[in-house]
Structure 1
Amino acid sequence: MSGLRWGILATGGIAHAFARDLRAAGIDLIAVGSRSQEGADAFAAEFDIPRAYPSYEALVADPDVDIVYVSTPHPMHAENAMLALENDTHVLVEKPFTLNAAEAAQIRDLAAAKGLLATEAMWTRYLPHMVRIREILASGVLGEVRAVIADHTQKVTDDPSHRLNAIELGGGALLDLGIYPISFTWDVLGAPTTVQASARLRPTGVDYEVATIFTYDRGALATTLSSSVTRGPNTATVLGTDARIDIDSVWYSPTSFRVVAPDGTVLESYESDVESRGMQYQALAAERLVAEGNFAGDILPIDETVAIMGTLDEIRRQIGLVYPGGR
Structure 2
Amino acid sequence: MPLLPATRTPDPADAPVLRWGVLGPGEIAGDFVAALQRHTRQRVVAVGSRSAERAAAFAATYAVPNVHVGYEALVADPEVDVVYIATPHSEHTANALLAIAAGKHVLIEKPVAVTADLAGTIFAAAEAAGVFAMEAMWTRFLPQTDVVAQLLEDGALGRLSLATADFAGGPAPRDPSSRLLDPAQGGGALLDLGVYVAWWSQFTLGTPDAVTARGALGPTGVDEQATLLLEAGEAQGIGVVGLRGRTAWRASVVGAAGRVEVDSPYWAASGLTLFGADGAVADRWEDPYGRPFRQGLCYEGAATARAIVEGRTGCPEHPAERAIAVLETLDAARHELGYADPPGWTA
TM-score w.r.t. length of structure 1: 0.97
The partner residue of 1:201 within 211, 217, 229 is 217
CA distance in 1, matches of 2:57, 2:326: 36
SS at match of 1:150: strand
130 and 196 in structure 1: CA distance in 2 versus 1, 3 angstrom threshold: same
Q: Does 1:23 align with 2:37?
A: yes
Q: 1:178 and 1:133 mapped to 2: Cα distance?
A: 20
Q: CA deviation at 1:132?
A: 1.0
Which residue number in structure 2 is paired with residue 322 of structure 1?
A: 340
Q: In the TM superposition, what are the counterparts of 1:83-232 in structure 2 within 5 Å?
A: 83-155=98-170, 156-217=172-233, 219-232=234-247
Overall identity of the aligned pairs, in %? 38
Deviation at 1:326, TM superposition (A): 5.7
Greater relative CO (CA pairs within 8 A, separation 6+): 2
Q: Measure how far apart 1:131 and its partner are.
A: 1.0
Q: For residue 244 of structure 1, what is the aligned residue in structure 2?
A: 259
Q: Secondary structure of 2:316's match?
A: coil
Residue number in structure 1 paired with 2:329:
311
The question of whether the paired residues in 1 share the 8 Å contact of 2:223 and 2:334 is answered with: no
Counterpart residue number, 1:3: 17
Give, in angstroms, the shift of residue 297 of structure 1.
2.5
How far off its partner does 1:56 sit?
Answer: 0.7
3-state secondary structure, aligned to 1:92:
strand
CA shift for structure 1 position 137: 1.6
Alpha-carbon distance in structure 2 between the residues aligned to 1:158 and 1:241 = 44
SS of the residue aligned with 1:179? helix
Which consecutive residues of structure 1, in runs of 5 or more, have no partner in the other structure? none
One-letter identity of the residue aligned with 1:315: A
Q: Is the 8 A contact 2:167 2:241 kept in 1?
A: yes
Instruction: Tell me the amino acid that sits aligned with residue 207 of structure 2.
Output: A
Give the conservation status (yes or no) of the 8 Å contact 2:166–2:247. yes
- Alpha-carbon separation, structure 1, partners of 2:262 and 2:275: 11
Answer whether contact 1:296 1:303 (CA < 8 A) is retained.
Answer: no
Residue 51 of structure 2, aligned match among 13, 36, 47: 36
C-alpha separation in 2, matches of 1:158 and 1:261: 45
- Asked if 1:272 corresponds to 2:283, the answer is no
Instruction: Give the drift of 1:161.
Output: 2.5
**1:153 offset after TM fit, Å?**
1.0
Whole-angstrom distance in 1 between the partners of 2:145 and 2:336: 30
Deviation at 1:149, TM superposition (A): 0.8
SS at match of 1:325: coil
2-side partners of 1:264 and 1:296: how far apart? 38
Amino acid at match of 2:285: Y
The alignment yields a C-alpha RMSD, in angstroms, of 1.3
2: CA distance, partners of 1:309 / 1:111? 18
Contact 2:212 2:333 in 1 (8 A): yes
User: How high is the TM-score relative to the length of structure 2?
Assistant: 0.91
Cα distance in 2 between the residues matched to 1:103 and 1:246? 34
Structure 1 stretches of 4+ with a deviation exceeding 4 A read: none
Q: Is the 8 A contact 1:101 1:306 kept in 2?
A: yes
Of the three residues 75, 84, 91, the one matched with 1:69 is 84
SS of residue paired to 1:82 = helix
Question: Is the CA contact 1:246–1:257 (under 8 Å) kept in the aligned structure 2?
Answer: yes
| Cα distance, 1:3 vs structure 2 | 2.4
Show the counterpart of 1:12. Answer: 26
Q: Which amino acid aligns with 1:39?
A: R
CA distance in 2, matches of 1:229, 1:114: 42
Unaligned runs of 5+ in 2: 1-12
